Amino acid sequence: MSSLTVTLIQASLRWENKKANLEMLQRKIESIKEKTEVVILPEMFTTGFSMKPEILAEKMNGETVEWMKKIAAERKIIITGSVIVEVGGKYFNRLIWMLPNGEYGVYDKRHLFAFADEHKHYARGNKKLIASVKGWKINLQVCYDLRFPVWARQSPSLEKEAEYDLLINVANWPDKRRLAWKTLLRARAIENQCFVIGVNRVGEDGNKISYNGDSSIIDPMGEIIYEKNTVEDIFTCTLQKEKVIEIRNQFPFWRDADSFLISES
C-alpha cells in the first residue's frame, strides 16, 4: 500500500492583498524542511473570503496560477487551494490542483454561501474533482460544501472500489461556527470511511470576521491525527492507505449504503 505525505498551511490572510499573500505563502512553503508531496492552502488564499470578484478575479493564465505552477515545479510538489477566477464573464470560487509538470485540475465550489451573498457574486460549479496520486483517490471540496453530505457521499457499489480515499476541504470558516466545522469534518470521515483534511485560515478579515483555524487531519474512524487552533501553523503528516483498506474490510458499512443520483443542475 502507498503512503501520501501532505502539508497543511494554516495562515492569517492579508485582506484582498494578493501580492502580500503570495509573498507570505511562498515564504511558508520555502520553510518546509520535510519531504512532502501535497501542500494545501486555505480557500481564497490570495484575498480572503471577498465578495469583490469584479475587482479581484484573475484569468486562468493570471499571476496566481503561474505562481502555483512555478512553486509546484521548483518544489516538486502538488499545491492546492482556491482562488477567485473569471471564465467567460462568470466568476468562480475555484480550487486548483496544480501538479509539478504544470498540468492541473479545477473544482468550482458547488455550494455557494448565500448567508454572505456568495451566490450573488459567483457562479456555482456542478462537477466533482477527484484527483489521483500514487494510487490515492482524493475528493476536493471548498468550505460550505462540507455542510452537504450527499455531495461528499461515496457512490455505493458492490462491484468496484470506493470512489475516494481522502477528502480535502479548504475553507474560510468563521470562529463563531467552529463547532460545526469540527463536527462535520469528523462526520465526513466516519460516514465515508476515508481520511479527511480540513485547512482553514486564522486571524480577522476585512469584514471583522474572526477565524480560529482548527485545521485538522482525521482518520477513517473519526480519530483526530492533528488539529491546530488560533495560531498560524505548518504541519506535515504521512498518511497510510493501508489504514483505509483495513478499516473498510473490518467494518464494511459501505455495503449497506443507499443508492442515489446527483443532478448536475
Enumerate the active-site residues: 43, 109, 143
Please say whether the beta carbons of 193 and 253 come within 8 A: yes
Query: In this structure, what are the phi and psi dihedrals at residue 102, rounded to the nearest 5 degrees?
Result: 90, -10
What three-state secondary structure class fits 241? helix
Q: In whole angstroms, what is the distance from residue 69 CA to residue 7 CA?
A: 17
Distance of CA 161 to the CA centre of its chain: 23
Please say whether the beta carbons of 206 and 15 come within 8 A: yes
